């Protein structure tokens, strides 16, 4: 087993990790389409750009034997 630290990632990617965090806004026109593309399911339970945790739990807490490794992650 191996644990990666933020310092390890910084060394591998050459990214500075010793300053303020810089983020930007992401504008998505259709969250339902993004949800469908990433999760293969669509919810109407959006709160802005957030999905209710209960919906995620109800839809993804049980995986069957046919689930791929990626789906299980």
The answer to the question of residue 49 being in a domain is: yes
Q: How many domains does the chain have?
A: 1
Whole domain around residue 65: which residue ranges? 25-72
In 1-73 the beta strands, taken as DSSP E runs, fall at 46-47, 50-51
The answer to the question of residue 30 being in a domain is: yes
> Which are the contacts of 26, defined by CB distance < 8 A and separation ≥ 6?
49
d(C-alpha 31, C-alpha 25), whole Å: 15
d(C-alpha 12, C-alpha 42), whole Å: 36
Task: Record the pTM.
Answer: 0.47
Collapsing DSSP to helix, strand or coil, 8 comes out as helix
The answer to the question of residue 13 being in a domain is: no
CB 5 within 8 A of CB 13: no
Query: Can you give the pLDDT of all 73 residues of the chain as single tens digits?
Result: 788 887 787 788 877 777 777 777 777 778 888 888 888 888 777 777 788 888 888 887 777 777 777 777 6
């Amino acid at each position: 087993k191996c644990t990666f630290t933020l310092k390890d990632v910084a060394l591998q990617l050459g990214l500075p990790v010793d300053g303020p965090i810089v983020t930007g806004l992401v504008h998505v026109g259709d969250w339902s389409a993004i949800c469908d593309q990433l999760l293969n399911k669509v919810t109407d339970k959006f709160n802005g750009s957030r999905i209710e945790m209960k919906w995620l739990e109800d839809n993804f807490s049980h995986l069957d034997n046919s689930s791929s490794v990626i789906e299980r992650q």
